[in-house]
Structures are given as C-alpha cells and as structure tokens.
Structure 1
Amino acid sequence: MTRPISLLLLLLSTTYCSAQTLCAPNEQVFFSCPVGKKVVSLCTTAQAMSYRFGTPKKIEMTYSGGAATQQFSRREAFGASNSAKVIWFTNDDVKYSLYSPARGGPILEVEKDDKTLARMECKNGWTSTVGDIDRLSPFIREVAQ
C-alpha cells in the first residue's frame, strides 16, 4: 500500500514543479513564477536566454536572445518607498518588464506607447518563484542609472 501512495505523491510533486516553469529539462531556470493561471519564465542554455509566457500545454509567447546581442536589459529602479531590479526587452514595440522589488512580490508588466497593457503579480509573491532573478548573466545588458 505504501508503494502506490509514494508513487502518487511523486507524480503530484513532479506535476506541481513542472507547472511552475516553462523551461525545458535541458534549460536552467533563471526565473519563473505563476501569474494567475499562467506562468512567466526566463530560461537559459549555454547559447541563449528565452522568455516564455503561457501554460505548459500552450506557450503563448516566446522571445530569445544570445550573449552577442544582449536583447535583455537590467537596471535598478528607485521609487519613493521601494526599489526594484527590472529586466526588460522590447518586441514589436511592446515592452515586457519583470520587476524584482525589495518589498512585495515580483511583477510582470507589458507596455506599449507608455501605456500599461497588462500588470500581473506573481501568485503568492516570492514563495512561488523559482530561480534567482538577481544573478549575473551574459545574456543581460546591465544598464547604469
């Protein structure tokens, strides 16, 4: 009886973990978190970083960039009562930003022509995230203040 229960628990935990990221098994999870019923992920291989948004069954958007082009950028943004590291890229005049605030949970923001199209907070704040968004990467251009 313990064997079927152990197998069931293993399957449930594997399903839960894989739903937390859209990265492939051969990729490293740079950052990933659930936003509503979807997932936002930054995944890396030796050659590139990829942004993915959607569900494991249907990835709605993918964007990739290599170290030579550094299509992803990062800087620190300061507000009146908070600061955040921001990783962003622009695709077809739409800016996608992942905020990693000092206070509060991570946020995905999508903008076009300086208007916010979508703003989604990671479900359960930092407790549901995978990876380390602050780590250095050859695929991200660091922008000075």
Structure 2
Amino acid sequence: MNSRFFDMLRRALPLVPLALCVSGQAKAAPSPSLCAPDEQVAFSCPIARSHKIVSLCLAPGKATPPAARYVFGTPSHPELIYPAKGRARANFRTSRLSYAGGTGGNAYSFVKDNTKYILFNISGASLENSGVIVKPVNQIDASAEFDCKPSTAFDALNGRLLLDITRSWGPDPELDGNVLPQTKVPPKIK
C-alpha cells in the first residue's frame, strides 16, 4: 500500500467524529483566493502553517480549452504567477488520481523551468487532503508539499465539473490514474 494514503488516513481519523456531526450542513464560506475579480475561482485554499494561498483561476468566457492562471503566495506578494503575463492553455494538464478504498481526486499540473507544480484535491473514506506538490521533472520524488489548511479547500466548480471543463488540457501521463509523488523532506514555510 502507498504510505501517502496511510499518512492521509492517519491525519483524517481524528476528524471522522466531527465530519459525522456536521454532515448535511451547508459548506463553509469560500476560501480566500488570488484570482482576479473577473476570473472564475477553479480552486483555492490557504496553505497550512503559513499566510500563503494557492489558487487556480479560469479566464472569463467560454473558451475551450479554458485559459488559466496559477497563483501562489500572498495577496500583497505573489511568489509565483503562471503564466507570468496573460493566460495560457498549452502547458496545463488535468488528471484523475486513484487510491485504494474508493479514495481518489483530481490533479492540475504544469511545468515551469524544469519543475512540475501539481495542485491536488483528494477525498474519500472520510478523508480530505488538498495542496500543492513541487517536483523536479524526471525525478520520482517531490521536493516539497504544501498542504491546504484542513477543510479550507474551495472549488467554485465541483471536482467532476472542473475535471470536465479542463479535460481538454489533456492528462499528465505521470499522474493520470495513479497516486501523487511522495515528498521526502517536508518544506519549511516562513
């Protein structure tokens, strides 16, 4: 079995009674995002143990495939905006993730300067995990993982709809139908 799955399960077990108590209630208010006012928030969440936010933003309109932007950092200091100017379609990929026990999710990835950035959302079996993984291209292990604060991931479009909208980006062969890469050393966030 994948050690990442067991680690996610271990982190989620204390939350199971709480999840059972609040099931059926309305979703919490949307997480803050770094998307522009005219963009659709495809996915956004604050990063655990930091003041940073990660957002995937779709351009307005009905272009197919949709143009997108990835933004990581704070509202006053975005550390990475991809693409840097305008919006691009060609380098974004979308994939379905598969884990044991009916657990799965979506991943949205792109490559910039020989580094792959993977925005992910995994759920199932009373567990939820979202965040960003950073991995050098052509390496098996990731160099960093930034998890979202628990229960803060927000997608204005449900995962299935977002996957359908972004499917024209094409799959990431490394991720589609698989699990996320492992992170050897947890990152230090300032």
TM-score normalised per structure 2: 0.57
Deviations 1:17-44 (A, max 9, x none): 7x71001112111111000310000112
* Residue 39 of structure 1: aligned partner: 53
Q: What's the CA shift for 1:66?
A: 3.0
Identity, % of aligned positions: 29
TM-score normalised per structure 1: 0.73
* Counterpart residue type for residue 60 of structure 1: E
SS of equivalent to 1:105? strand
Q: What's the CA shift for 1:99?
A: 1.5
Q: How does 1:14-93 map to 2 (within 5 A)?
A: 20-36=32-48, 37-45=51-59, 46=61, 48-64=67-83, 65-67=87-89, 69=90, 71-81=91-101, 82-93=103-114
Residues 42 and 57, structure 2, Cα contact 8 Å, conserved in 1 = yes
Q: What's the CA shift for 1:140?
A: 5.1
Are the structure 2 counterparts of residues 90 and 131 from structure 1 closer, same or farther at C-alpha, using a change threshold of 3 Å?
A: same
- 2: CA distance, partners of 1:133 / 1:111: 26
Find out whether 1:124 has 2:150 as its counterpart. Answer: yes
* Counterpart residue type for residue 90 of structure 1: V
Q: What's the CA shift for 1:78?
A: 1.5
Aligned length: 126
Are the structure 2 counterparts of residues 138 and 84 from structure 1 closer, same or farther at C-alpha, using a change threshold of 3 Å?
A: closer
* Residue 142 of structure 1: aligned partner: 170
The RMSD of aligned alpha carbons is 2.5
* Counterpart residue type for residue 68 of structure 2: M
Instruction: After the TM superposition, list the runs of 4 or more consecutive aligned residues in structure 1 that deviate by more than 4 angstroms.
Output: none
Deviations 1:66-109 (A, max 9, x none): 34x2x211111222343221111111111111121123121211
- 1: CA distance, partners of 2:52 / 2:168: 24
Which stretches in structure 1 are left out of the alignment for 5+ residues? 1-15
Find out whether 1:109 has 2:142 as its counterpart. Answer: no
